[in-house]
Amino acid sequence: MGLNFTSKFSLTLMTKKEKLQFVIDSLEELYPEVPIPLEHYSPFTLLVAVVLSAQCTDKRVNEITPSLFAKADTPEAMVKLSVEEIAEIIRPCGLTPMKSKGIHGLSEIILKEHNGQVPASFEALEAMPSVGHKTASVVMSQAFGFPAFPVDTHIHRLMYRWGLTNGSSVVQTERDAKRLFPKELWNKLHLQIIFYGREYSPARGLRLEKDFITARIAPPKIIKELSTKS
């Protein structure tokens, strides 16, 4: 069972504002500290790790990056490796041709266009190969402290389950998250939601008696839908 919040929230039907505060308070109680899941030690190593994380678990990425970064942890060193050499190291992460070409290509761009430094700009990051908006958002928030709300599968799933978005797209989910939650919380809150999703509200094998946030604030329609699936 999750945390036992004996407040006005548990006694009455919640307004949207109260639901949001319940989410914020619950996640802060559970995860006062939120370590960044992908191991890195510079904006460049974070960028590479996030590229590798596409359709790959953070655990697997963290097993692969030490070997890669031992050979190349800067753009200068990375471009000295061939695409094939990069591919051989990162193969367990999947999507190997795309990721190896992307990592080599973005390293060249960083050297040629940004003086060897990862740019702190959404526009510049998203112009690089293998770097989409989510990847750029992670780098901007976690490497540079810029307010961003990267939406991964956990956040997309939980925002829908909590009735805070219609689930139509990750673009809509990000828009709703930014509209509903205070900007000063975005960088920490998106990680807290990810941790909660992994521990309490998985895509499969959901147990509402454990997923206490969903059980408390989800609209009846979604509770019925989830109960049918579980």
pLDDT higher than 60, residue 5: no
Instruction: Dig out the tokens for 9 from the structure.
Output: 């929230």
Which residue type occupies 172? Q
Task: List Cβ neighbours of 37 (8 Å cut-off, separation of 6 or more).
Answer: 58, 191, 194
Cβ-Cβ contacts under 8 Å for 179 (sequence gap 6 or more)? none
- d(C-alpha 75, C-alpha 35), whole Å: 25
> Distance between CA atoms of 211 and 200, rounded to whole angstroms?
5
Q: How far is CA 225 from CA 188, 202, 218, in A?
A: 29, 15, 11
pLDDT of residue 115: 98
Domains of the chain listed by start with CATH number: 8-30+149-229 (1.10.1670.10), 43-142 (1.10.340.30)
The pLDDT tens digits of the residues spanning 195-204 come to 999 999 999 9
Cβ atoms of residues 130 and 99 within 8 Å: yes
pTM attached to this predicted model: 0.89
Q: What is the pLDDT of residue 227?
A: 82
Q: Give the residue numbers marked as catalytic.
A: 134, 152
Q: What is the pLDDT of residues 152-193, one digit of tens each?
A: 999 999 999 999 999 899 999 999 999 999 999 999 999 999
Taking the C-alpha atoms of residue 126 and residue 112, their distance in angstroms, rounded to an integer, is: 16
Cβ atoms of 89 and 68 closer than 8 Å: yes
Q: Whose structure tokens read 């990267």?
A: 150
Does residue 90 carry a pLDDT above 60? yes
pLDDT value at residue 11: 40
pLDDT at 228: 79
Q: How confident is the model at residue 230 (pLDDT cuts 50, 70, 90)?
A: low
> Are 162 and 218 in contact, with CB atoms under 8 Å apart?
yes
Torsion of CA 85, 68, 38, 107, to 10 degrees: -60
Given 3-state DSSP classes, what are the helix, strand and coil percentages for the chain, each rounded to the nearest 5?
Answer: 65, 0, 35
Torsion of CA 80, 81, 83, 87, to 10 degrees: -160
pLDDT number for residue 7: 41
pLDDT recorded at residue 8: 38
| Candidate from 8-12, 96-100, 106-110 with smallest mean pLDDT | 8-12
